[in-house]
């Protein structure tokens, strides 16, 4: 019996190559997803690309893409949200729901 190849690592967990699925969806909270969607909506409404937003907040376009991807569990920090609000000309509160989720 051949042992599985545990060379694939994701989020600190070793996965056998034959069991690793790239279609895996990351688990993030409802609040985190709300914030991500609100930032994306505001960014697209102002026709701001991921690259432009990333340059403003000091990260690369790939980071913004990972945040907006359902396959990654990367999230914006409070500092990111403040910098995004400055760039988009709004309040960081605009990215939060009015009532608890």
DSSP the chain: -PPP---EEETTEEE-TTT--TT------HHHHHHHHHHHHHHHHTT--HHHHHHHHTS-HHHHHHHH-TT------HHHHHHHHHHHTS-GGGGS-SS--
26-95 maps to which CATH number?
1.10.260.40
What pLDDT score was predicted for residue 17? 53
Q: Which residue has tokens 């409404």?
A: 45
What pLDDT score was predicted for residue 6? 45
Which parts of the chain sit beneath pLDDT 70? 1-26
pTM summary value: 0.74
What pLDDT score was predicted for residue 27? 79
> In the chain, what are the domain boundaries?
26-95
């Amino acid at each position: 019996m051949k042992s599985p190849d545990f060379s694939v690592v994701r989020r600190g967990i070793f996965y056998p190559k034959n069991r690793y699925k790239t279609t895996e969806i990351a688990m993030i909270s409802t609040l985190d997803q709300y914030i991500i969607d609100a930032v994306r909506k505001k960014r697209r409404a102002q026709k701001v690309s991921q690259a432009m937003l990333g340059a403003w907040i000091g990260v690369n376009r790939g980071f913004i893409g990972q945040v907006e991807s359902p396959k990654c569990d990367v999230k914006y920090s409070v500092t990111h949200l403040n910098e995004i609000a400055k760039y988009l000309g709004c309040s960081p509160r605009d990215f939060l729901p009015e009532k608890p989720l």
